[in-house]
């Protein structure tokens, strides 16, 4: 057993270990080979995509129905055993890890589309289905689910982290596209909240409470989602700028003139260099924008003509654009592979994926200041992001054995968050809090707001079994 596999037991008292062992034995009787305590399986479920430390659960279970989830959670609540929901494992801040051990619910076998109502533009799905699986199912309906965080994440995980991504500027975040939820509470009770209505003033908005709660308030077992019409035409383009500010100012102007952009993505010159090498592309190694419009063929063409005027006024030579799907896919290849391309810049490095979101008018200030701080600290850290909504990312590539380099990274990361707060922004636009940003959440809201969150958690999960340690520390 490697060192990381010892971490969960490190936090457990003998009494807690005994309760976990008893719960596992009771669950094994019902779930048989759908329960695993194998070290490799546990380690696989002990971390997400970018959080370096592995905190494995004591066991992994694959439920196949809401009733099974309810029975598991009820038993664990009675025994005081932690429960951590697991989707596709693509989260970035340690959301799926188990620092206090416990039972991991791998929801991947609850992956069915239960109903599609084309006339109303909604569908009902189980949480384990991924966004790509859902859109493949919807392909012949004329509808699709547009929220695209980049990774092929599960719908349940996307709801739990309030995911957004490349299409946010047009379609909003998960919070704007979830109508109703079925949720298993900490005591095993099953509830439904929300409705299929497009608006409601009926009581507290519990759907929005669960959306973004990172599995700390309940386990999502069913979701009713808003669907959108597949556009008649989609046009994508790439343009490069001689400097970073020109690219960012282009984004601001396009937003301010009301251009109906569906996606605007940014890669700085270091990220372009990495993407060229990783994806075998030949983009100019300059700050680069990826821009996309949707609508009728005539409307998209008109919008590109307007966009050309804007980008050239900020130093770009023009737009390379395409309507056909194959060419569009090629243009977006660099952006969708950006995380893995960045990691290839420094093999063996730990990647800390930082994100902030600021008001669009402050985007240029925040990005340029962050780039200057990175360079002054001598760090390798590409910048990219969904800049159409003010959200950008820094991929810090750090030698895991170099404490001095990590200290420089911490200083730059802290300054980046402080700048975002000073400019009226947030410490995370879409990654969430998990384990990685708990202190940054306190810096953003202050102790009174965190205490209010604690009281909500205590009221809904008095035994503290649901994804403990996430969002804020356990006392």
Cα–Cα distance, 183 to 324 (Å, whole number):
41
Closest CA to 68 of 210, 184, 158, 155: 184
Position 7 scores a pLDDT of 40
Stretch 417-434: mean pLDDT, rounded?
96
Residue 332, pLDDT > 90, answer no
Buried b / exposed e across 337-364, counting CB within 10 Å, b at 16+? Answer: bbbebbbebbeebbbbbbbbbbebebbb
Stretch 33-43: mean pLDDT, rounded?
97
Position 195 scores a pLDDT of 97
Stretch 334-363: mean pLDDT, rounded?
91
Is 38 strand, coil or helix? coil
Is 410 strand, coil or helix? helix
pLDDT digits (tens, 9 = 90+) for 283-320: 899 999 999 999 888 988 888 888 999 999 999 987 77
Is 382 strand, coil or helix? coil
CB-hemisphere CA count at 13 Å for 109?
A: 13
Q: Which residue segments constitute the domains of the chain, with CATH numbers given?
A: 3-108 (3.30.43.10), 110-229 (3.30.465.10), 233-339 (3.30.70.2190), 345-431 (3.30.70.2740), 432-462 (no CATH)
Mean pLDDT of the chain: 92
Position 15 scores a pLDDT of 87
Residue 6, pLDDT > 80, answer no
pLDDT digits (tens, 9 = 90+) for 55-78: 999 999 999 999 999 999 999 999
């Amino acid at each position: 057993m490697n060192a990381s596999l010892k971490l969960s037991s490190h936090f457990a008292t003998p009494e807690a270990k005994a309760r976990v062992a008893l719960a596992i034995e009771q669950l094994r009787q019902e779930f048989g080979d759908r329960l695993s305590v194998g070290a490799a399986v546990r380690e696989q479920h002990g971390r997400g995509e970018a959080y370096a430390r592995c905190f494995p659960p004591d066991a992994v279970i694959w439920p196949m129905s809401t009733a099974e989830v309810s029975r598991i959670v009820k038993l664990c609540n009675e025994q005081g055993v932690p429960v951590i929901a697991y989707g596709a494992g693509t989260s970035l801040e340690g959301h799926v890890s188990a620092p206090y051990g416990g039972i991991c619910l791998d929801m991947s076998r609850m992956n069915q589309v239960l109903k599609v109502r084309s006339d109303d533009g909604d569908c009902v799905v189980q949480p384990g289905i991924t966004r790509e699986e859902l859109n493949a199912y919807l392909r012949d309906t004329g509808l699709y689910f547009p929220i695209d965080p980049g990774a092929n994440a599960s719908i349940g995980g996307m709801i739990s982290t309030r995911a957004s991504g490349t299409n946010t500027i047009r379609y909003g975040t998960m919070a704007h596209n979830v109508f109703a939820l079925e949720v298993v509470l900490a005591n095993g009770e099953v509830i439904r909240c929300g409705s299929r209505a497009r608006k409601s003033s009926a009581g507290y908005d519990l759907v929005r409470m669960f959306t973004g709660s990172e599995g700390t308030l309940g386990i999502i077992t069913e979701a009713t989602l808003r669907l959108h019409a597949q556009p008649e035409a989609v046009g994508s383009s790439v343009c490069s700028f001689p400097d970073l500010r020109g690219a960012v100012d282009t984004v601001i102007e396009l937003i301010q003139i009301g251009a109906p952009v569906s996606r605007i993505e940014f890669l700085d010159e270091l990220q372009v260099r990495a993407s060229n090498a990783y994806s075998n592309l030949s983009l100019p190694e300059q700050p680069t924008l990826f821009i996309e419009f949707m609508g009728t063929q005539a409307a998209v063409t008109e919008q590109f003509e307007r966009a050309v005027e804007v980008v050239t006024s900020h130093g770009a030579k023009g737009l390379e654009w395409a309507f056909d799907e194959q060419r569009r896919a090629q243009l977006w290849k660099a952006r969708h592979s950006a995380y893995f391309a960045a990691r290839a810049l420094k093999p063996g490095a730990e990647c800390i994926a930082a994100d902030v979101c600021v008001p669009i008018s402050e985007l240029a200030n925040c990005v340029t200041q962050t780039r200057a701080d990175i360079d002054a600290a001598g760090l390798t850290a590409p910048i990219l992001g969904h800049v159409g909504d003010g959200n950008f990312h820094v991929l810090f590539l750090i030698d895991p054995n170099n404490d001095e380099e990590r200290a420089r990274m911490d200083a730059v990361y802290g300054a980046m968050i402080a700048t975002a707060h000073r400019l009226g922004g947030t410490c995370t636009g879409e990654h969430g809090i998990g384990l990685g940003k708990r202190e940054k959440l306190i810096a953003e809201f202050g102790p009174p707001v965190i205490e209010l969150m604690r009281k909500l958690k205590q009221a809904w999960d008095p035994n503290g079994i649901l994804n403990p340690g996430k969002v804020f520390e356990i006392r």
